[in-house]
Structure 1
């Protein structure tokens, strides 16, 4: 049996988790993506590796008991040491997008909200029409539903319109979307169709061109020109985890007793990417 819990990641800086090179030219640093929505993800192995490292640094503990032996170690070759804590990938829950007049609108889709509902539905309690309910007991708002504090241009028939860089989005109705934010604080937001979230996601990504210069000249060194894409600052992601029942009486405390901590995930930390706040719930 396993105890279920989940984690919330909020990016405090752009976040790049992906391949070091992509396409045939080899000059694109692409992020990992969900195969259905084409939105960015953080693999469970990346979260597990970072928490293993943090446990060593903060508590000076041998993390092997919780996370298993490292791949390629002598212990892993001789023993099948299963980890106590299991991690799944982190998916986007809300993605901040630039929108003239807002200036930021957080965007999600029914599929992304459905995963959050599956992960946290038994734990998160929300207020709906003056009643306290679990998240699993409320319906996911329909696509093209906006938040109440959304600044959108009214149209005939009660609809509103938002302008993004790639065109207009029609908001069919506005409701209280605070139950779908982990902080319970409603942000200017809209839920779009699953077919549209990938296009909006590409529009919202942080992109940066980088070069490697020659040591003695300010010119590009060979093929040292490449681009990087990353999830923007303010992205909210969610991931489930499971803790296997153990009779030793030990308690998993990755942040030395604290529920949340600032950590770095992904690559390109040396140029300011990867700073996140990670909060664990349900432990």
Structure 2
């Protein structure tokens, strides 16, 4: 198995649902050990699977069958695939394998966890918030041996400036320098993360 760490940079709010809680009709999926929101692997996998979809309007039957075979190889068959006898014959002819039951495909998708969370700020527009636990997890997933040594209120915002978050005020002089903050921003991706704060 070859692990690949991918990043999701959301441009708008996302709600993945979860179990409903007393007084809350629309629950949010949360990690059991941290209670942080997360993206269940089934949500990510379903989106990927939809992107490897089949162009039903295509007149080329071979193109449709090949796209369906590619999707089944990657994600495994669904119940509709197993009911389609013609497809099962094509699949066995093309791959040399017989499909008889639901099975895992060739890729495995894990849960998505938060690294930085955008928070509205009256004084600075948007500030990206994280915590040592999330930064340490990210280092571990990147196979880095480093450790997170950040103090409370570490930030790249000048120390003298007060930070007005949506429901909180961090007075000027409370901020600690966070010199290596860019080490914790995923490389190779275009983001607007330029003001950070670790709580």
TM (norm. structure 1) is: 0.51
Contact 1:93 1:108 in 2 (8 A): yes
Contact 2:139 2:146 in 1 (8 A): no
**3-state secondary structure, aligned to 2:14:** coil
Aligned residues: 167
**3-state secondary structure, aligned to 2:122:** coil
Q: Deviations over 1:75-116 (max 9, x none)?
A: 7x9435222101110001100111221021101112212222
Q: Deviations over 1:99-148 (max 9, x none)?
A: 22102110111221222222223xxxxxxxxxxxxxx1433232425333
Aligned partner of 1:178 in structure 2 is 182
Contact 2:123 2:163 in 1 (8 A): no
Residue 32 (structure 1) aligned with residue 29 (structure 2): yes
Q: Which runs of 5+ in 2 are unaligned?
A: 56-62, 84-98
Aligned partner of 1:190 in structure 2 is 197
Q: Which runs of 5+ in 1 are unaligned?
A: 122-135, 155-160, 193-283
Aligned partner of 1:224 in structure 2 is none
Following the alignment from structure 2 to structure 1, what is the Cα–Cα distance between the partners of residues 80 and 159?
55
Following the alignment from structure 1 to structure 2, what is the Cα–Cα distance between the partners of residues 190 and 141?
14
Residue 68 (structure 1) aligned with residue 76 (structure 2): yes
**3-state secondary structure, aligned to 2:52:** helix
Q: Higher strand fraction: Structure 1 or Structure 2?
A: 1
Aligned partner of 1:12 in structure 2 is 11
Contact 1:144 1:173 in 2 (8 A): no
Following the alignment from structure 2 to structure 1, what is the Cα–Cα distance between the partners of residues 54 and 152?
45
- Alpha-carbon spacing, 1:71–1:6, altered in 2? closer, same or farther (3 Å): farther
Residue 116 (structure 1) aligned with residue 138 (structure 2): yes
The structure with the largest alpha-carbon Rg is 2
Q: Deviations over 1:12-36 (max 9, x none)?
A: 11111114x73345x6322211223
Contact 2:131 2:198 in 1 (8 A): yes
Which residue among 45, 48, 51 is the counterpart of 2:48? 51
**RMSD between aligned residues:** 2.9
